[in-house]
């Protein structure tokens, strides 16, 4: 029997391609999965219960976390895709927008996840950053800064929970092989992009009891891209 069997896992952003793959991976190994997203997805997975919540609404997010039992793991894949602006060409409000959608959401999820996990003294929180946070080539300044800030949040939260049974980590994927990304970059070598099931497996491991010694990590998942 899987060590995740019967454990309560919350996937925030479960309606997207990656979130759906992660939710499916958890259900496959017997976890009790709750998917949270702004709206209930049309293509719902068997074995997953869904909650519609605006993750930028602090009060509503708190109610959503309080309405269920203490989660063993919370996986956050909320965020927006990079806008390909150069530093000098980005609109004035792009930085605040990206910080709000990528960092503020992660901070609020962290707040409520750790608050609930503190009741039991154990659990796993896994955020999503981006390879763009760690490189200085290309474009998308605001997006890359917002994802770099998520990594700093992970470090601070890991320090805050050090010595407990709670860990906080991040997965750092490059562009992944999804229909939307293929359509956006049709000329790319798609075979080299990380596949969703393989990326989901990294989240599942970080959320497992076996990963209890890992906290504050940023795990790169680049495939051959």
pLDDT in tens, 117-175: 999 999 999 999 999 899 866 658 888 899 999 999 999 999 999 999 999 999 999 98
Q: What's the mean pLDDT in 3-20?
A: 96
pTM (2 d.p.): 0.94
Q: Which domains does the chain have, with CATH numbers?
A: 8-221 (3.40.50.720)
Q: Residue 184 and residue 30: Cα distance in Å, rounded?
A: 35
59 dihedral zone (left: phi>0; alpha: psi -120 to 50; beta): alpha
Pairing of strands 73-76, 165-173: unpaired
pLDDT in tens, 17-56: 999 999 999 999 999 999 999 999 998 999 999 999 999 9
CA max distance for the chain:
54
pLDDT of residue 179: 84
Q: Which positions ≥6 away from 79 have C-beta within 8 Å?
A: 13, 101, 102, 105, 128, 130, 147
pLDDT of residue 87: 58
Phi, psi of 14 (to 5 degrees): -70, -10
In 3-state terms, what secondary structure has residue 73? strand
Name the percent of the chain lying above pLDDT 70: 92
């Amino acid at each position: 029997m899987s060590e995740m069997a019967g454990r309560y896992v919350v996937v925030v952003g479960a309606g997207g391609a990656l979130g759906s793959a992660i939710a499916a991976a958890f259900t496959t190994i017997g976890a009790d999965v709750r998917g949270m997203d702004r709206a209930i997805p049309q293509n719902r997975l068997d074995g997953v219960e869904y909650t519609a919540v605006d993750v930028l609404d602090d009060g509503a997010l708190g109610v959503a976390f309080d309405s269920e039992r203490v989660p063993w793991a919370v996986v956050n894949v909320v965020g927006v895709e990079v806008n390909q602006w150069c530093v000098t060409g980005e609109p004035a409000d792009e930085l605040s927008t990206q910080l709000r959608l990528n960092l503020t959401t992660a901070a609020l999820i962290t707040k409520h996840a750790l608050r609930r996990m503190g009741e039991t003294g154990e659990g796993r929180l896994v955020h999503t950053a981006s390879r763009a946070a760690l490189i200085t080539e290309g474009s998308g300044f605001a997006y890359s800064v917002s994802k770099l800030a998520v990594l700093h949040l992970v470090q601070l939260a890991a320090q805050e929970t050090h010595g407990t049974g709670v860990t906080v980590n991040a997965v750092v994927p490059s562009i992944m092989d999804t229909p939307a990304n293929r359509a956006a970059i049709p000329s790319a070598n798609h075979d080299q992009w990380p596949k969703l099931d393989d990326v989901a497996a990294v989240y599942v491991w970080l959320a497992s009891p076996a990963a209890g010694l890992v906290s504050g990590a940023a795990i790169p998942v680049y495939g051959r891209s």
